[in-house]
Structure 1
Amino acid sequence: MTASPRVAVVGAGNMGANHARVVAASPRAELAMVLDVDADRADAVARPLGVEGSTDLAAAAGCDAVVVAATTEVHLDIALPLLEAGVSCLVEKPLADDLVAVDRLIGASETSGAALMCGFVERFNPAVVGARALLDGSPVHLLGIRHSPHNPRTRSSVIDDLLIHDIDLALDLLGGSVTSVSGGHWVSPEGVEELADCTMVFDHGAVATLSSSRASQRKVRSLSLSSADLLVEIDLLRHDLTTYHHRSGEVVDRDGPIYRAETVVEIPFVRHTGEPLAVQFDHFVDLVTSDASRDAERASLRAPHAAVAQIKAGVR
C-alpha cells in the first residue's frame, strides 16, 4: 500500500461532503473520488476539492480505502463487496440496518483482514477523551441527553440517528457487558420515530439512562457520569468538562445548630486535538496503514448495534 492511501467517499449528502472535506485536508491520505447515484451531487462535492465525481460505485474497489456515507439501507450492498475484496471501510453509523447485516460486515472484515470502522465520531470528542482520564473509580450511572429540534427532512429512526451515539459511549465509559435493555419511543403522525429513551443495566451493576429526541426546542448533547465520590458532566457541544465532589456535611453551632456542606467544583483543561471528524479519520488511516489495532476496532462494533437491536425489539 502507498504511504498515503487513496480514499474514495461514497455518498455526497451532508455527511459525505464533510467526510470528503476531511479526507482532502488530511496530510496522510489522498481523496481519490466522490461517488453518488446522483452525478450532479457527486460533482458538487468533488470538484471544489480538486477531484472528479462519479456514479460508478464499482470504481471504489480500485482505492485503498472507502468512506461509506450513503443512506443506511445501502451500507451492506456497498461495503460488503469492498471488504470481501480487502478494501478497508469507514462506514457511517449505523453499520447497517439490522444486526444480521452488521455481523456480515464484521465477518467479511475478519475474513479478508480489511479494516472496518464505524462512524462513532463522539468517541473522538475531546471532552469524552478527557473524561476517560478522570474516571479513576468505577462509574455507577451514566445519564445521556441528545436532543435536537425537529427536522422534517430526516426520516430515519432517532435510535439510529442519535441514540446509538450515547449507547456506544455508555459501553465505552462504563465497561462490562449489558444484561438488560428497556425503553420506549414516540412516533410522529408522519410515521417517523422521533423520540426514544432507554435504560441499560450492566453486569457489574452500573446503569445508563439515555434520552434521544428530534422533537425538542433546543439542541442538547450532554453526559453525566456518577461514581461514589465524583460527578463528571460532559458538554459534547462545547467540548468541555465540569467535575463535582461533595464533601461530608457537618453541623456547626452558630447561635443554634446549622448544617453545612461543601461541593468542590472544577473545570478541567480539555486538550483539543482537532475536529472530531478529522481525528476519527486519522484513526482510520492508522487502521488502514497498519493492522495492529484492527481486531480491537472490530471488537468494539457489535455491542452498540446489538443494544440498538434490543431496544428496537422492545419498543416496536
Structure 2
Amino acid sequence: MNAANPLRVAVVGAGAFGRNHLRVYKELEQAGEPVRLVAVIDPDAAAAADAATKFGVPAFGSIAECLAKSAGLDAASVCVPTVHHRAAAEELIAAGLDVLIEKPLAPSLEDADSILALAAKHQRIVQVGHLERFNPAVTAARRYLNQPMFFESHRLSVFTPRSLDVDVVLDLMIHDLDIVLSLVGSPVTEVRAVGLPVLSPKVDIANVRVEFESGCVANFTASRVSTERVRKLRFFQPHQYLSIDFARQDLLMIDVTAAAGMDPAKLAAMAEMIQASQQLQASGGHPSAGLSLSKVPVEPGEPLRLEIVSFLDAVRRRSVPVVSGEDGRAALKLALEINAAISAHAQRAGLTI
C-alpha cells in the first residue's frame, strides 16, 4: 500500500472521540501518508454534517448507507458509545473492514467475544483504542522494565458529561489496567475494590487493589469528579523506582539500590520524598539532598496519532496490532471483575450503587 493506493478509512461517530480520529486521519492524509479519509458516519444528522464540513468528507447516517455508497473501504475507527460497539464493529467486519475500536472494547465479555470471533472468521484486524499504550513516556519506561513488584496509579479528572454510559472503571481506570497488565505479564489472583457514584448514576470514583500471581501488587485510583487533572503511574522494581506522568510525557527514574531491603513503610516514605522532589523540579527548584533523580529522555508525540499510525501499519502489514483485540478483552475482563468487587463491597457496607 503506497501513496498511489492509500488505505481508505471511515470514522463511525462524530462526537468528541470521533472528531479527534477524523482530525488525525486528515492530518496524516495532508502530510502525504498513504491514507485517505473518505467518510464520517453518525445518525445525528447535524453532528455528521458539521464534521463533514470541517474535515471535507461525505457524511452518512448509517454504516449500511456508507458501505453502499463508498466503494473500496479498507478500515474504520469505531467511536460510538460503548453499548453500540458490537453492532458497529460487526457490521464493518462482516463487510471486510479492519477496525480500531475505542476503549473499552465492549460493555460485556459476551459482546467482546462475539466481535473477536467474527474478526477471526473474516480474518480482520481488531485494535482497541488504549491510546496510553502509545504515550511516549510509557514506551520509554518499557526499556527499563525488570520484574515490577508494586504499581501505584492515579487518574483523576474533572467532571464532564461525556462517557457517562459507562462507570469510571470502564471510562478512565481501564487505561491503567491495560498498561499494568501489559507490563506485569502475570495472571490476576485477587481483586479488592471500593467505589461510589457521586454526580452520575454510575460509579464515579474507585480505589482498587490487584494482586498478581508473580507477587506484584497494583493500587489504582480513578475519579471523574476531581478538582484537578492527574494522570500518573509509579512503580517499584528491584533496585529501581520509575514515575510516569502521562500528561507531561515525563519519565523520572531513581536507583534505589541503597534502599534494597527497606520495609514497606520506609519505601512509602521514600516514594513521598521522590514525589515532592518531582514537584520541586517541575517548579524549577532542586531535588532534596541524597536523591539522585534522572529524567529519562522521551521523544514527544501525540498518543492518538501514534495509535492510529500503528493501526494503519498493522492493516497494511496484516500483522497483530500493538493493542490487540485480546488485549482489549483482558483489560475489559479485569475491569468487570473490579466492578463486581465494588458491587460486593457496597452490598457488605449497605450502600446503594
TM-score by length of 1: 0.91
Contact 1:222–1:233 (CA<8 Å) still a contact in 2? yes
Answering whether residue 339 of structure 2 is matched by residue 312 of structure 1, we say yes
Answering whether residue 225 of structure 2 is matched by residue 224 of structure 1, we say no
With 57-66 and 178-187 compared, the bigger mean Cα shift is at 57-66
The offset of 1:40, in angstroms, is: 1.4
Q: 1:296 to 1:123 in 2, by over 3 A?
A: closer
With 73-82 and 230-239 compared, the bigger mean Cα shift is at 73-82
CA distance in structure 1 between the aligned counterparts of 2:36 and 2:320, rounded to whole angstroms? 22
Q: 1:235 to 1:46 in 2, by over 3 A?
A: same
Q: Deviations over 1:16-51 (max 9, x none)?
A: 000001111112311011110111111111222221
Answering whether residue 269 of structure 2 is matched by residue 269 of structure 1, we say no
TM-score by length of 2: 0.81
**Alignment partner, residue 69 of structure 1:** 79
Contact 1:46–1:52 (CA<8 Å) still a contact in 2? yes
CA distance in structure 1 between the aligned counterparts of 2:321 and 2:95, rounded to whole angstroms? 16
Q: Deviations over 1:276-307 (max 9, x none)?
A: 10110011101211223259823322211110
Q: Residue 297 of structure 2 aligns to a residue in which SS?
A: coil
Q: Residue 143 of structure 2 aligns to a residue in which SS?
A: helix
Q: Which residues of 2 match residues 207-286 of structure 1 at below 5 A?
A: 207-248=217-258, 262-272=290-300, 274-286=301-313
Q: Residue 163 of structure 1 aligns to a residue in which SS?
A: helix
- Name the aligned partner's letter for residue 284 of structure 1: F
**Alignment partner, residue 141 of structure 1:** 150
**Alignment partner, residue 5 of structure 1:** 7
Contact 2:310–2:322 (CA<8 Å) still a contact in 1? no
Q: Deviations over 1:244-296 (max 9, x none)?
A: 123538xxxxxxxxxxx943210111012x31101100111012112232598
Contact 2:189–2:213 (CA<8 Å) still a contact in 1? yes
With 13-22 and 305-314 compared, the bigger mean Cα shift is at 305-314
Equivalent residue pairs, number: 303
Q: Deviations over 1:141-192 (max 9, x none)?
A: 1111000112245523111110100000110112222122221111126423
**Alignment partner, residue 299 of structure 1:** 326
- Name the aligned partner's letter for residue 67 of structure 1: S
Gaps of 5+ in 1: 250-260
CA distance in structure 2 between the aligned counterparts of 1:16 and 1:218, rounded to whole angstroms? 25
Q: Residue 233 of structure 2 aligns to a residue in which SS?
A: strand
Answering whether residue 44 of structure 2 is matched by residue 34 of structure 1, we say no
CA distance in structure 2 between the aligned counterparts of 1:264 and 1:125, rounded to whole angstroms? 25
CA distance in structure 2 between the aligned counterparts of 1:158 and 1:283, rounded to whole angstroms? 27
Answering whether residue 14 of structure 2 is matched by residue 23 of structure 1, we say no
Gaps of 5+ in 2: 260-288, 344-353
From the two aligned structures, give the one with the greater helix fraction.
2
Answering whether residue 111 of structure 2 is matched by residue 101 of structure 1, we say yes
- Name the aligned partner's letter for residue 238 of structure 1: R
- Name the aligned partner's letter for residue 27 of structure 2: A
CA distance in structure 1 between the aligned counterparts of 2:175 and 2:92, rounded to whole angstroms? 25
Identity among equivalent positions (%) equals: 33
Q: Residue 263 of structure 1 aligns to a residue in which SS?
A: coil
Residue number among 171, 175, 188 corresponding to 2:181 in the alignment: 171
Q: Residue 248 of structure 1 aligns to a residue in which SS?
A: helix
Contact 1:7–1:30 (CA<8 Å) still a contact in 2? yes
Answering whether residue 57 of structure 2 is matched by residue 47 of structure 1, we say no
The offset of 1:117, in angstroms, is: 0.6
- Name the aligned partner's letter for residue 149 of structure 1: V
**Alignment partner, residue 257 of structure 1:** none
Residue number among 199, 203, 226 corresponding to 1:193 in the alignment: 203
With 30-39 and 180-189 compared, the bigger mean Cα shift is at 180-189
Contact 2:60–2:66 (CA<8 Å) still a contact in 1? no
Contact 1:248–1:262 (CA<8 Å) still a contact in 2? no
Q: Residue 301 of structure 1 aligns to a residue in which SS?
A: helix
Contact 2:90–2:115 (CA<8 Å) still a contact in 1? yes
Q: 1:264 to 1:178 in 2, by over 3 A?
A: same
Q: Deviations over 1:97-150 (max 9, x none)?
A: 111101111111111110001110000000000110122x21101111000112
The offset of 1:95, in angstroms, is: 1.2
CA distance in structure 1 between the aligned counterparts of 2:162 and 2:84, rounded to whole angstroms? 19
With 294-303 and 240-249 compared, the bigger mean Cα shift is at 294-303
The offset of 1:81, in angstroms, is: 2.3
RMSD over aligned Cα, in angstroms? 1.9
From the two aligned structures, give the one with the greater strand fraction.
1
The offset of 1:86, in angstroms, is: 2.4
Q: Deviations over 1:46-84 (max 9, x none)?
A: 222221112132144451111000111111111112223
Q: Residue 339 of structure 2 aligns to a residue in which SS?
A: helix
Q: 1:21 to 1:281 in 2, by over 3 A?
A: same
